[in-house]
Amino acid sequence: MDELFTKQEISWLDDVDKEGKVINPKHELYGKSIENTVLHMPAASGSTVGADKLVYLSINGHAPKKIILERLDPITMWGAIMGKIDVEIKGKEKKPVDISKIEKLGVDKEIAELLARAGELLGTDEFIPADYVQISGVSYKTVLDTGLELRRYLASKYKFRASNVTINPAGMDTEDWQAIGISADFAEKQNEIIDAYIKMGALPTITCTPYLVGSTPPPFTDAFLSESSVVVFENSMLAVRTNREAGLSTLLYAIAGYGPRYGLHIQSNRNPKIKIKVETKLSGVLDFGLLGYKIGELAKGRIPYITGIDRIPSIEEIKELGAAGAASGSIDLFHMEGITPEARYKMISTDGIEETFEIDRKELDSLKDMLNTGSAEEIDLVAIGCPHASINEVKEVAMLLKGKRIKEGKELWITTSRIVKDIAKRLGYLKIIEDAGGHVVADTCVVVSPIENLGFSTTATNSGKAAKYLPRFSKQKVVFNTVSELVQKIVA
Ligand code: F3S
């Protein structure tokens, strides 16, 4: 059996194709197949739907035989557990977990066995109530047929015991899917996945910004969240305690009503390990996204402590920073001097900082150049709203489009939650945007919907996270700039 070694994290969603080949040209395993190998890797980065991809690879015979992780990684771990792939964490003894202890919590035997397997790898037999759960792995494009099958099976057997369960964006606007060109076959499978979640007891929030639509755990509460941008936002800004769970683990914890206590549930594990000195003034969403992206690349799984931010950033700036950092690396939590609650109220210690990095304007500018792989003339689609747009972001686009018309052959989508779309309608922004020829698209985004099949080749975005995923996962060239620059490029 071949052994493959990498020091680079793997994003299961977009670094590896459906046949198990590494397709990221910047990855040191580029061009190699992971099928039937013993794969030594640090951990997964990026999307938490990666666990579903591993299950898919396993069922189709393209997965590694064994994965040896350098550090604890719920995404790879849960993909391996559900895909029946041998997995271990280097240097960590598996700690046997007594299944009957989990069953005594009222958890069904089948689910208790899976939780015990996770507890063994995580090194904990402590299971705490999972009342607040947010589940990724909703889009049919990301979970594929194997994911649909699994959710169909679970919904036929179980109801959620967790009381507050929200779900991530789907692969389409659930009401207006025909208007954006989604096929009937895709829509049918997508609706089946959403119906399965609702049948089990989820709220159909269908958004990656539940904190913008009134659904957040209280501060300092233990939660089990899986969408990577939600994890970093709620851990950092709201002091919620969550690990970056896999979509699959949150699904099972919601059924069990319990999840394991480990990692970021424990206060002493929330101390920063690297310091980031920001040596330039930041202005607006694009700058904060660039900063987050850069920090993600430097962090290598470590918690950053950010200094040099001279004002409290807006919600939109913070959501971009976290989303980009979670996508480019695996930032689950950051602290910002004098701003984020645990830094502000001195709940963390900076004594364990191992390394300091300085980030200046030159670095942000060169990163921006690197993310631009297409030209303004080639833009087919301008996509705003990753993570899902706030009402302020919808308003900004509406004001830029007022009285103008989008050029023939170009499209504009603002992706957001249905609640924000309804508010935009009430405030008249929806009409302004639609009169100009644009769309406010609810329940989905350009990464998890199949835009590569809708005739788009070059997508323009102001989101570092979207710029990271669009090239390989949606086969797009990317134009990366501010909202106003992008809108100007496509209006007559
Ligand atoms: Fe949300 Fe889609 Fe971006 S799920 S964070 S808008 S990739």
Span from the CA of 275 to the centroid of ligand 1 (angstroms): 27
Dist CA 207 CA 413 (whole Å): 16
Query: For residue 35, what are the CA distances in angstroms to 32, 38, 64, 70, 244?
Result: 9, 9, 5, 20, 26
pTM to 2 decimals? Answer: 0.93
What sections of 25-139 are H helices per DSSP?
A: 50-59, 74-83, 99-103, 109-122
In the sheet with 38-41, reading across from the earlier edge strand, the strands are: 3-5, 38-41, 66-69, 86-89
Output the pLDDT for position 46.
74
CA 467 and chain centroid, separation? 13
Within 10 A of 453 (CB to CB), how many other CB atoms are there?
Answer: 14
Residues 415 and 446: beta-carbon distance below 8 Å = yes
Out of 13, 138, 414, 448, give the residue to mutate to test ligand 1, the one with the largest number of ligand atoms within 8 Å of its CB. Answer: 448
Of 270, 263, 249, 230, give the one whose Cα is nearest residue 130.
249
Residue at 139: amino acid letter: S
The whole-angstrom separation of Cα 12 and Cα 41 is 12
Give the DSSP letter of residue 88. Answer: E
Cα separation, 91 vs 207, in Å, equals 38
Give the pLDDT confidence score for residue 388 in this predicted structure: 98
User: Who's near 472: CB < 8 A, 6+ residues apart?
Assistant: 14, 15, 23, 24
pLDDT at residue 1 in the model? 76
Residue nearest to ligand 1 atom 7, measured at CA: 447
What pLDDT is recorded for position 301? 85
Residue 171 near residue 449, CB atoms below 8 Å: yes
Residue 469 Cα to ligand 1 midpoint, Å, equals 10
Alpha helices, H only, 201-246: 228-237
Per-residue three-class SS string for 426-472: HCCHHHHHHHCCCEEEECCCCCCCCHHHCCCCEEEECCHHHHHHHHH
- The enclosing H or E element of 318 equals helix 315-328
Could you tell me the two tokens for 225?
């969240």
Task: Return contacts of 344-347, CB within 8 angstroms, 24+ apart.
Answer: 347/267, 347/270
The token duo for 93 is: 């003894």
Q: Say how many Å lie between the CA of residue 252 and the centre of ligand 1.
A: 22
Tell me the best of 388, 394, 478 to mutate to test the pocket of ligand 1, counting ligand atoms within 8 Å of each CB and taking the most.
Answer: 388
Q: Which residues line ligand 1 (CB under 6 A)?
A: 168-169, 208, 229, 323, 386-388, 415, 445, 447-448, 465-466
Q: What is the pLDDT along the chain (492 residues), one digit of tens a residue?
A: 799 999 999 999 889 999 999 999 999 999 999 999 999 999 998 778 889 999 999 999 999 999 999 998 999 999 999 999 999 999 888 889 999 999 999 999 999 999 999 999 999 999 999 999 999 999 999 999 999 999 999 999 999 999 999 999 999 999 989 988 899 999 999 999 999 999 999 999 999 999 999 889 999 999 999 999 999 999 999 999 999 999 999 999 999 999 999 999 999 999 999 999 999 999 999 999 999 999 999 998 899 999 999 999 999 999 999 999 999 988 999 999 999 999 999 999 999 999 999 999 999 999 999 999 999 999 999 999 999 999 999 999 999 999 999 999 999 999 999 999 999 999 999 999 999 999 999 999 999 999 999 999 999 999 999 999 999 889 999 999 999 999 999 999
Ligand 1 atom index nearest CA of 463: 3
The pLDDT of residue 137 is 93
Using alpha carbons, select from 385, 342, 365 the residue that is nearest to residue 282: 365
C-alpha to C-alpha distances, 423 to 205, 213, 426, 430, nearest whole angstrom: 15, 11, 5, 9
Other C-beta atoms lying within 10 Å of the C-beta of residue 430: 20
Counting Cβ atoms within 10 Å, is residue 65 exposed (0-12), middle (13-18) or buried (19+)? middle
- The tens digit of pLDDT for each residue in 255-264 reads 999 999 999 9
Q: How far, in Å, is the centroid of ligand 1 from the Cα of 28?
A: 27
Alpha helices by DSSP H, listed for 158-246, are: 184-200, 228-237
Measured distance CA(165)–CA(226) in Å, rounded: 11
